[in-house]
Amino acid sequence: MTPAPAHPLQPVPLQELRQQGGRRHWTVDQPIADLPTLTPVRGEISVEHGGHVLDLHAHAETILTLCCDRCLQPFNQPLTIEVSERLELAQEPDGSSSAPSDLIDLLEVAEALDDRLEASGSFDPERWLFEQLSLRLPQINRCGVACPGPARWSSDPPGVDPRWAALRQLDRD
């Protein structure tokens, strides 16, 4: 395994990764940009260049401070991921095609929306780790089973809205 560089999560050109034997390993112990965590993200990422694919594996954990969707109070949420993913590397286009121009335009749009990495591009481990952690965030933030629920203005039972008092007066006449 290749030792981690000085700043462990810098993008790596895929050509360089391929020339270095195809494997790279990072030990992570740092904050991740755009992810507001209470503790640094700690874990490991490994990548293996397999010709037309990148095999990615990661284990990471951190603690985030979230806001409860029900009572609006902050709470700490541990977040742990264990993920394996295979990313396809897009092949360099050779420039020749027998397809009609309409189809070529559609193919170009489809390629722009594709989740493949360009073979001549680079792999950004920090961005990939951010995406994996973000995918594991809860859809609904709840502080727990003892959540007090939404705040009330008073402990009195809800009554009739005072703005309707004039109508109530007309009913009594």
Closest by CA to 44, choosing from 63, 22, 55, 29, is 29
State the average pLDDT over residues 38-59.
Answer: 90
pLDDT at 162: 75
**pLDDT value of residue 19:** 78
Whether residue 121 contacts residue 89, with contact meaning beta carbons closer than 8 Å, is answered with no
Within-domain flag for 7? no
By the 8 A CB rule, do 61 and 122 touch?
Answer: no
Phi, psi of 15 (to 5 degrees): -65, -40
Indicate the average pLDDT of the chain: 79
Tokens of 7: 């700043």
pLDDT at 105 over 60: no
Q: Is residue 1 part of a domain?
A: no
Domain containing 119 equals 12-168
* Tens-place pLDDT, residues 56-90: 999 999 999 999 999 999 999 999 999 999 888 77
Task: Give the β-pairing of 74-90 and 53-67.
Answer: antiparallel
Whole-angstrom distance, CA of residue 125 vs CA of residue 13: 11
Structural domain contains residue 173:
no
DSSP state of 143: -
Question: What pLDDT, in 10s, does the model give residues 124-153?
Answer: 899 999 999 999 999 999 998 888 887 666
Q: Is residue 3 one of the residues assigned to a domain? A: no
Tell me the pLDDT tens digit for each residue of 107-129: 555 454 446 667 667 888 999 99
Is the pLDDT at 30 greater than 50, yes or no? Answer: yes
Count of domains observed in the chain: 1
Residue 6 resides in a domain: no
> For residues 129 and 26, what is the distance between their CA atoms, to the nearest angstrom?
11
